[in-house]
Chains A and B, each alone.
Chain A
Amino acid sequence: MMTLRVNGYEYEVDAEPDTPLLYVLRDDLKLNAAKYGCGLGQCGACTVMVDGKAVLSCVTPLVLLEGKRVTTLEGLGTVSEPAPIQRAFMEEQAAQCGYCIAGMMMRAQALLQRNPKASDDDIRAELAPHLCRCGTHMRILRAVHRAARLMDTAELSPSDQRGAQ
């Protein structure tokens, strides 16, 4: 048993210590957003935040997460109360199949928390570990820019504060 802190809640997790975080999130905690794409850290679909930094959950074993704060897309907001990054992706219609999108959003969120004034070059460089096969890249870039503007202008809502943990 290990205590894992995800989206502000503490969970007692009964999984072997070498279990990648991805499987704990999806299988034990029944969270959907982080996706299995390669299990090799090559595609970015599994990205979540750990202590505010983007992390590839498919290659991060549970044992390394003791005492750390994990944030997934679910922790940022909901359909009715979306976080700025979620609102931005909806407003830009920045998805086709959408399978890669949750991972993209988490890395973008981590970037914008760290650097609210990220330039286009910063965003492109930051998203380099992420693959999108549908070719939605132009919209993803627009959505991240929009999210930066929304974060800049909007007052922090409770959901944002959760996300910023």
Chain B
Amino acid sequence: MNAPVILDRRQMLAGSGALIVSFSLRGAFAEEQGAPAAAAPSPPGSLKTSPYLDAWLRIDADGAITVFTGKAELGQGFKTAFQQIAAEELDVPFASLKVVTADTRLTANEGYTAGSHSMQDSGTAIQHAAAQARALLVAEAAKRLELPAENLRTENGAVIAQDGRRLAYADLVAADMLHVQAQPTSKLKDPATFKVMGQPVPRVDIPAKVTGGVAYVQDMRLPDMVHARLVRPPSYGAELTDCNSSAVEKMPGVVKVVRDGNFLAVLARKEFQAVKAMRALAAAAKWKESARLPKQDDLLALLTTQLKSQDMTILERGNPSAAGRRTIEATYTRPYQSHGSIGPSCAVAQFVDGTVTVWTHTQGVYPDRQAIAEMLRMPPANVRCIHTEGSGCYGHNGADDAAGDAALLAKAMPGVPVKVQWMREQEHGWEPFGPAMATKLKASLDSEGRIADWNFEVWSNTHSMRPGSAGSLLAAQQMAEPFPVPAPKPLPLPEGGGDRNAIPIYTFPNAHVVHHFIPEMPLRISAMRSLGAYHNVFSIESFMDELADLAKADPVEFRLKHLDDPRGREVIEKAAQAFGWHKGQQASQDRGYGFAFARYKNLAAYCAIASEIEVNRETGRPRLVRAVAAVDSGQVVNPDGLTNQIEGAIIQSMSWTLYESVSFDEVRITSIDWQTYPILRFDAVPDTIEVHIINRPGKPFLGSGETGQGPAAASIANAIANATGKRLRNLPLTRKRIKDAIDA
């Protein structure tokens, strides 16, 4: 799958005059090369699937160094982190490198930028590729200087001998030196010697973003570009029965009206001309709508009884000697929720000589290319997707759809660059939502207040309807010869989808976990930051507090009593200590303390969050006063970037948890802007958020972009329960629900 990519790039580089460095097998890995390939373990991270070093690194004869990642910068800041990693392992100055992100012509296929995998997959690949490239350069220098490699060191982009002789990397590279497969192991630097990794290096993208530079696909302007606006159906499945567009076609600046089945768009020279034409076209369009949405106010019944499910037992652990004495049960629900990107989705596409280029803020340039190629009935090689930043997405929002829209419209306007910008109500109404979920928990305590048995059931749709096939794109679903929506599949464990983090990290003698996978999707849904982990961790960690309460135990002590994982224990202890948590603590009037913990996917970063909430008893309005988090994400590359991610996770998860639910009637989605889908504003921002990082030098990177979502939700819910004496189990924990609980 990757070979053609590398060929593409190498052809392009040859065309642009850059030199490809050469490699001699008499270099550093000569011995390993002799070993039978089949017996060799695979190299780490994404080197497994894209093993050639020059898929990750290029050193030009003029000394310019480029790092390639197949992942997309979405505002997480990893572009900076990757630059740090490469600079560290190559021993070159940070500023001397350039990072190129996801582009089907230039970079490896790393699938989606999702699941907190960027550091683990791409960061690890870059680290090892850089370390192995450095070893190759040292080996080449050793040969030229006729010195043993171990007598050489590297510094500032050069190999240096003990006698002071110095060979710059630029002088050492020769054609194809890095066109060699990665070895399974690398000689990585000792973390104690790190100069760049572990430092809070400022983000490379922020200066342009705070000075009005070109930073987003929304800022792209190509010569003679036209602006497109869509007229999307007013509801799922609506059919365009009539549309007289003749008046619209005569409007100022209008270049074309494109209709293909239920896909309707207008293109104009100037952007606001396109907006006005879109409004006129929307008024001219007649749609046949149907009542196909479920009742919004009874999601529990919808999920657990009305929709059919496929049931899978995903954990069965038994120990008859542990006997429960006291049993409690609880049911928790989560509504459909929006990604709610501040910038609606956007894409630019251009069709030239049978090839379409799409600039898109997709999370997966290769799967998006596949879907677009299928939709346009073109070979994938004739579609190029270039990741260009958009507004933060937090999962699968309208990005891919907008890319599909732009590609379809570009095909209708050969040669002309087309920019598609979704309107606010289109993003809110058509983005694939985070799925609604329900969980039922039941557990028993033994005579010593320990959990003897644990039962957990979760009902959920899939959590990924991402592209790969055309039927995932709105344009392809709406065109005259539509592509069917692909059949949903549950995402496999250990990462899981609806069952992500459904298996408890705690050690319970008896445990039973069931995933009720619901194939039917009444609302359009897909991946939203942390997938099922948000609700599963909210449920587990709320219920742990309910059980601690039953056991009359301190919530932190109760968690530690059931947790063996030493790194998990350390994270809990750190958050509790930094918060000032102590047994028997009493919050002041109308305030409460809450605690929660999880290890994302049970295999990525650990995160514990303690919080203090104030509840206005008259209005029910909650306010997070302060939150203290501890996180272990293995070897830290950029501590400030990590802190930024955790701070953001806490605030975003607080917004989901306290305010957010998609609303709909029988026909239409009715939450279509920030008035009808309110999110957190500055008046709800806490006084302080502290993030404490437990660094693990030399340990693998553990993805941390999503680890805070679940713990933040449960910590807040537990603090509200502590403040009010009332347990709320249905998300969002709105002011009204809190007030009703207080008054009940």
Q: Is the CB of B212 within 8 A of A40?
A: no
Binary contact readout A70-95 vs B (1 if CB under 8 angstroms, 0 otherwise): 00111001110010001001100101
B439 is an interface residue with CB less than 8 A from chain A = no
Question: Within the assembled complex, what's the spacing in Å between the Cα atoms of A43 and B344?
Answer: 12
B607: min CB distance to chain A, Å:
14
Q: What chain A residues lie within 8 Å of B340 (beta carbons)? A: 133
CB-nearest residue of chain B relative to A37?
A: B342
Interface centre among A15, A27, A40, A132 (most CB of B within 10 A): A132
Interface check B206, CB cutoff 8 A = yes
Cβ A97 vs Cβ B391 within 8 A? yes
Nearest-CB distance from A125 to chain B (Å)? 8
Q: A90-B207, A95-B203 are in contact. Are A134 and B652 (CB under 8 A)?
A: yes
CA A139 to CA B77, docked complex, whole Å:
15
Asked whether B589 is an interface residue with its Cβ less than 8 Å from the other chain, the reply is no
Considering only CB atoms and an 8 Å cut-off, how many residues of chain B contact the other chain?
62
Judge whether B650 is part of the interface by a CB distance below 8 angstroms. Answer: yes
Kindly state whether residue A4 has any CB partner on chain B within 8 Å.
Answer: no
Cα(A128)–Cα(B685), bound, Å: 10
Within 8 A of B (CB), among A33-86: 33, 35-40, 42-43, 45, 72-74, 77-79, 82, 86
Decide: A93 and B219 in contact? CB cutoff 8 A.
no
Q: A82-B210, A134-B652 are in contact. Are A38 and B674 (CB under 8 A)?
A: yes
Question: B77-116 toward A: CB 8 Å interface, digit per residue (1/0)?
Answer: 1000000000000000000000000000000000000000
Contacts of A96 in B (CB 8 A): 75-77, 392, 644-645, 648
**A154 sits at the interface (CB 8 A):** no
Docked-complex contact A135 and B673, CB < 8 angstroms: no
A138 at the interface (CB under 8 A from B): yes
A5 CB–B CB distance under 8 Å: no
Mask: chain A, 120-144; 1 = CB below 8 Å from B; 0 = not: 0000110110111111111101000
Interface of A is mostly: loop
Q: Do A40 and B207 touch (CB < 8 A)?
A: no
Q: Is B215 an interface residue (CB 8 A)?
A: yes
What A residues does B271 contact at CB under 8 A? 23, 26-27
A82 vs B205: C-alpha distance in the bound complex, in angstroms?
15
Looking across the interface, which residue of chain A has its beta carbon closest to that of B651?
A: A135
Q: How far is the CA of A100 from the CA of B391 in the complex (A)?
A: 8
Q: A111 near B: Cβ within 8 Å?
A: no
Cross-chain contact of A93 among B76, B227, B341, B644 (Cβ < 8 A): B644
**CB–CB B644/A27 < 8 A:** no
Main secondary structure of the interface of B (DSSP, over half): loop
> Shortest distance in angstroms between A141's beta carbon and chain B's nearest beta carbon?
7
Closest B residue, CB atoms, query A103: B342
Given contacts A37-B342, A97-B75, A102-B212, contact A137 B203 (CB under 8 A): no
* Complex-state Cα separation, A19 to B340, whole angstroms: 26
In the complex, the answer to whether B673 meets A42 with C-beta atoms within 8 Å is yes
Classify chain A's interface size.
35 or more
B191 CB to nearest chain A CB (Å): 23
Chain A contacts of B682 at CB under 8 A? 124-125, 127-128, 130, 137
Q: Given A97-B74, A134-B648 in contact, is the A43-B342 Cβ separation under 8 Å? A: yes
A79 touches B213 (CB 8 A): yes
Q: How far is the CB of B95 from chain A (nearest CB, A)?
A: 14
The residue among A31, A37, A45, A73 with the most chain B CB atoms within 10 A of its own CB is A37
Task: Name A77's closest neighbour in chain B (CB-CB).
Answer: B211
Q: Would B648 and A78 count as touching, CB distance under 8 A? A: no
Kindly list chain A residues whose C-beta atoms are within 8 Å of the C-beta of B389: 97
Residues of B within 8 A of A43 (CB): 342, 674
Bitwise, B671-683 to A at CB < 8 A (1) or not (0) is 0011100010111
B75 & A128 in contact (Cβ 8 Å cutoff): no
Q: Which residue of B lies closest to A62 (CB)?
A: B272
Q: A99 touching B342 by the CB < 8 A rule?
A: yes
Nearest 4 pairs of A and B residues by beta carbon:
A97-B75, A135-B651, A33-B212, A97-B392
